[in-house]
Structure 1
Amino acid sequence: MRPECHPPRFAVADAVQRALVEDLTPLGDLTSSLLPADLRASAAFVPRRDGVLAGRSCAEETFRQVDASVEVSWSADDGDQLSAGMPFATVEGRLASILTAERTALNFLGHLSGIATQTRRFVDAVAATGSATKVWDTRKTTPGLRVLEKAAVRAGGGANHRGNLSDWILLKDNHLALMGVSAAVHQARIRWPGRTVHVECDHLEQVEEALAARADALLLDNMTPEQVAECVVAADVHVARLGGRRPLLEVSGGITLDTVASYAVLGVDCISVGGITNSAPVLDIGLDIDQI
């Protein structure tokens, strides 16, 4: 397994438990309870389209919580490319248990693999330019599933932005409208001296002010490629004049597969895309069952 592509065990167990409670409260799977208790079957997970696998640990945990005697075997790990029609895992055990767990396992696999697949598309588009720019996610995630979705981004080859509001300081437009860039960075240094200070910038003048305030990272928001290029030059000139490390430069706001390459070649460090989590199409995966 690739540990870096999988979410923490506690997050998986919690998400699966909540999903099963939603599906089985209060009386369990009424339909599957009609089946003979000793009837066994095998089944295969099969993608209907090409994609990237994510959510393996969630699928395993689903079967474990429904019936620990069900055996799941994998020929692929999170981050692997899947080919339409080619099975990547098998399940063996009581048919009733398999059917009870089926939809929950598929929901996790389809949703998370969809995120990994969409992320890989952006990563490949950036890589085709020869740029080392990273594709970043955002906090535009499904409530309660952020840890799982960010793991799926990693499975797709992307990198994670901050996990939550406690990770670091991101001074956005509504903060800056009240405090101003210099004062906000200064207050952040006093209050949280060990934290990254990240400043959202809408135009070149804000970039110059954030550079002068020694911000750790700049978010270049909703800018054209031409505007971003000017900001990159400003950052490089600032470092050449005063020394030190160039702040991390992030581009964000309306980036699509059609435009991501035009930003990746400009010398920025990261491109954040909310769409890889909040609107990634589900990867269609089925569980094809053969009764034993």
Structure 2
Amino acid sequence: MSVLMDGELESLLREDLPHFDLTTLYLGISEERGTARLVARSKGVLAGVEEAAAVYEKVGASAECLMRSGLEVVEGSVVLEARGGAGALHAAWRVAQALVSYMSGVATYTRLMVEAARRVNPRVVVATTRQTPPGFRRLWLKAVLAGGGVVHRQSLSDEILLFRNHLVFAGGRGLGEVVRSLKARVGYKRVGVEVGSLEEAFEAVEAGADYVQFDHVDPATLRSWVSRLRSEFSAVSIGVGGGVDLENVGDYAATGVDVIVTSAPYHAKPLDFTTLFSRQP
């Protein structure tokens, strides 16, 4: 199922086709019937094929997903087939191909991070942030899920996560006092706190925090801190974020944290796809 709404599809298409497709128009081929096949040129994890199909259907073509998001593709895999007039096919193909290419890049990088982390710590969760390119959050988050990751927070409305920047406006109250105040107000909802030291982590947990997330701590130091924190608070959930990518995710997984928070998949290289056309007799 596509996560794109009708207006979003129109906006994506309008960006590439503000008026007319001059080439197709002057060639006089708009009504000629044909088929477009979206083909992988490299190995990876597929994402966005449902959105690509919706793009084709929006311009009046028919489209069939031959594979679904989350499946692995290899060079030569045909993931989508669309049929319609040449005008419709040319209006849709670049937008559709770009969506699959970028989203599959995110999904592939996510899968690689998850696999690298779980080779070391089978129970660790790789979670991505809400720091997606503006306007593309739902697409990028869908790609993360296709790659086997989870979403740390979809938006500010999801859960409570206290940052140092919040404390700037806390009227001089300390971290522990702010956490106790939040716990008293929010009822059953979890309270998470970003911390930069073991001392801050102890202060937050002693005040009732359910989750602490260490920020920009090197793996060797983090391993020691996780061990000391768990020795006194075995039930607390522990995460780490800041600078975690495919190169070091295994090191962070080995520290014993529950959650690794990252934005690295959003900067992944797009997976290579091409679109092949054929004319219907």
The question of a shared fold, defined as TM-score above 0.5 by the shorter chain, is answered with yes
Partner of 1:226: 220
Q: Is 1:29–2:30 an aligned residue pair?
A: no
Question: What secondary structure is seen at the aligned counterpart in 2 of 1:251?
Answer: strand
Question: What secondary structure is seen at the aligned counterpart in 1 of 2:157?
Answer: coil
In the TM superposition, 1:115-126 aligns within 5 A as: 115-126=106-117
List alignment gaps of at least 5 residues for structure 1.
1-5, 241-245
Q: Distance in 2 between matches of 1:139 and 1:273?
A: 10
Partner of 1:87: 78
Q: Distance in 2 between matches of 1:7 and 1:219?
A: 33
Deviation string 1:263-292 (CA, Å, 9 cap, x unpaired) is 112221111111112x11111211111122
Match of 1:235 among 225, 229, 239: 229
Deviation string 1:82-132 (CA, Å, 9 cap, x unpaired) is 101222222221111101101111121111111001101101111222521
Distance 1:224 1:31, change over 3 A: same
Q: Distance in 1 between matches of 2:47 and 2:100?
A: 6
Residue identity opposite 2:75 in structure 1 = A
Partner of 2:268: 280
- Contact 1:133/1:271 (<8 A) preserved: yes
Question: What secondary structure is seen at the aligned counterpart in 1 of 2:278?
Answer: strand
Q: Is 1:255–2:241 an aligned residue pair?
A: no
Deviation of 1:195 (Å): 2.9
Question: What secondary structure is seen at the aligned counterpart in 2 of 1:186?
Answer: helix
Partner of 1:243: none
Question: What secondary structure is seen at the aligned counterpart in 1 of 2:180?
Answer: helix
Moved over 4 A (4+): none
Q: Distance in 2 between matches of 1:19 and 1:171?
A: 36
Q: Distance in 1 between matches of 2:194 and 2:2?
A: 29
Q: Is 1:172–2:163 an aligned residue pair?
A: yes
- Contact 1:54/1:116 (<8 A) preserved: yes
Q: Is 1:163–2:154 an aligned residue pair?
A: yes
Partner of 2:256: 267
In the TM superposition, 1:196-235 aligns within 5 A as: 196-235=190-229
Give the TM-score of the pair, scaled to structure 1: 0.88
- How many pairs does the alignment contain? 276
Question: What secondary structure is seen at the aligned counterpart in 2 of 1:88?
Answer: strand
* Stretch deviating more after TM superposition (115-124 or 182-191): 182-191
- Contact 2:121/2:256 (<8 A) preserved: no
Residue identity opposite 2:123 in structure 1 = A
List alignment gaps of at least 5 residues for structure 2.
none
Distance 1:209 1:158, change over 3 A: same
Residue identity opposite 1:280 in structure 2 = A
Deviation of 1:7 (Å): 5.9
Residue identity opposite 1:87 in structure 2 = V
Deviation of 1:194 (Å): 3.8
- Contact 1:216/1:247 (<8 A) preserved: yes
Q: Is 1:142–2:133 an aligned residue pair?
A: yes
Deviation of 1:177 (Å): 4.6
Deviation of 1:157 (Å): 0.5
Partner of 1:3: none
Give the TM-score of the pair, scaled to structure 2: 0.91
Deviation of 1:173 (Å): 2.0
Question: RMSD of the TM alignment (CA)?
Answer: 1.8
